[in-house]
Amino acid sequence: MATTIRVAVETSVAADRVLEAAHDFSPRRPAVFPAVSPKHFRVHRVGESSADVTEGSRAGVVVWERCAYDWSRPGSVEARVVDSNVYAPGSTWELTATPTASGSHVEMIWVREFLGTPGARLLSLAYRTVGPRMFRHDARRVLRALENGV
């Protein structure tokens, strides 16, 4: 069963800048996305509107995912899990950014299915209980980093 978490946030950052950051796989990525550990960040391939990237974080244990990124659709960046130690293939993360008079409206949607391992089942429980609060906090941290010029 998939768990979906939606976060919507207003920011003073222009929509195109938010979208560019979402598919910027330079060494600056961990500074913009604090949940990405530099130690577990690998870019396998970057194309015109797609990328193959492994990202991981350390939240008590290492959680990593290899994703196929796609930003060919205007106003959106999507990451689809192709391999992970906790997430089932096909799980997604999508960021959309829409211009507003004062910056942009940003929405992030995580749709996660979990593997059947004990660690993944435990993470699934945490995801359903504290995930919305945790991801809202993370989304605000990302946008604050962009607002501060990172």
Top-tier CATH class for 3-147: alpha beta
pLDDT for position 61: 79
Q: Give, in order, the Cα–Cα distances in Å from 98 to each of 3, 11, 73, 114.
A: 24, 10, 13, 30
pLDDT band for position 100 (cuts 50, 70, 90): very high
pLDDT tens track for 119-136: 898 889 888 999 899 999
Q: Give, in order, the Cα–Cα distances in Å from 130 to each of 16, 77, 113, 126.
A: 30, 24, 16, 6
Strand order in the sheet with 92-100: 3-11, 103-112, 92-100, 76-84, 61-70, 50-59, 42-46
pTM: 0.94
Residue showing tokens 């990593």: 64
- Name the percent of the chain lying above pLDDT 70: 99
Which one is predicted more confidently, 23 or 134? 23
pLDDT for position 41: 97
pLDDT band for position 62 (cuts 50, 70, 90): confident
| pLDDT at 59 exceeding the cut of 80 | no
Assess contact for 73 and 92: CB atoms under 8 A: no
Phi and psi at residue 27, in whole multiples of 5°? Answer: -60, -10
Q: Give, in order, the Cα–Cα distances in Å from 21 to each of 24, 26, 69, 97, 118.
A: 5, 10, 13, 11, 34
**Which of 123, 35, 122, 121 has the alpha carbon at shortest distance from 79?**
35
- Name the percent of the chain lying above pLDDT 90: 85
**Which of 17, 7, 22, 4 has the alpha carbon at shortest distance from 124?**
4
The rounded distance, in Å, linking the Cα atoms of 138 and 7 is: 10
pLDDT for position 3: 92
What one-letter code names the amino acid at 127? Y
pLDDT tens track for 25-56: 999 999 999 899 999 999 999 999 999 999 99
